[in-house]
Amino acid sequence: MKKKIWWITETAVMLALLVTLQTLTKPMGQLVTGSFVNAVLAVTVLVAGLYSGVTVALISPVLAYLLGIAPQILTVPAIMVGNTVYVVLLYFIAGTDSKKVLRRAAAWIIAATVKFATLYAIVVWLICGVFAERLMDAGTLKAPMLNMLPATFSWPQLITALIGGAVALIIAPLIRKALDK
């Protein structure tokens, strides 16, 4: 029971931090907000564990949409998948031993790259490419959004995942130490 309460508390704190950072940094643009979101995702999984990381990864895009940060409801499932890929790869490759610097660096680069590739494939290739005409005919996707999404879900995703992951690799060991984990 105590473990479950601790898990709920850690996850809730990270979600609260995420919402706060998304709200405060929204006017600063995608690179700032996205970097903070990725840092929170990475810190969550590296400190609180896989289940907390996946939970925050899945809830984050819903909150971003509700806060007006995610550009369209159509992208929310794609962001969920990208975020989940990011935290799962970080968890399984990086592990929790902060002394394995090369392993953690590899996890950071691999997770950021695969998240970017996942989002690019789903949003740019599938939504804006393969299914664009059908989505536009159905009224689900408008021309301005079709033009904006590729820019949003291309290289900025890699940059923000790399920045957020780098920040997390620096502060996660400090947080783990402070929490005596």
Give the 3-state secondary structure of residue 25.
Answer: helix
At 128 the pLDDT is 92
Average pLDDT, stretch 90-102?
83
pLDDT at 78 over 90: yes
Both tokens of 61, joined, read: 């895009």
What average pLDDT does the chain have?
Answer: 92
Report domain extents, the chain.
Answer: 2-178
pLDDT over 90 percentage in the chain: 69
Instruction: Give the burial string for 120-144 (b: 16+ CB within 10 Å, else e).
Output: bbbbbeebbeeeeeebeeeeebeee
Average pLDDT, stretch 32-61?
96
Instruction: Please state which architecture CATH assigns to domain 2-178.
Output: Orthogonal Bundle (1.10)
Q: 149 or 68, which is more confident?
A: 149
The residues, any chain, with a CB within 8 Å of residue 114's CB and separated by 6 or more, are: 85, 86, 89
Residue that is written with structure tokens 């809730």 in the block = 12
- The predicted-structure confidence for 128-166, as pLDDT tens digits, reads as follows 999 888 888 888 888 888 888 999 999 999 999 999 999
Q: Is the pTM of this model over 0.75?
A: yes
At 164 the pLDDT is 97
Q: 174 or 72, which is more confident?
A: 174
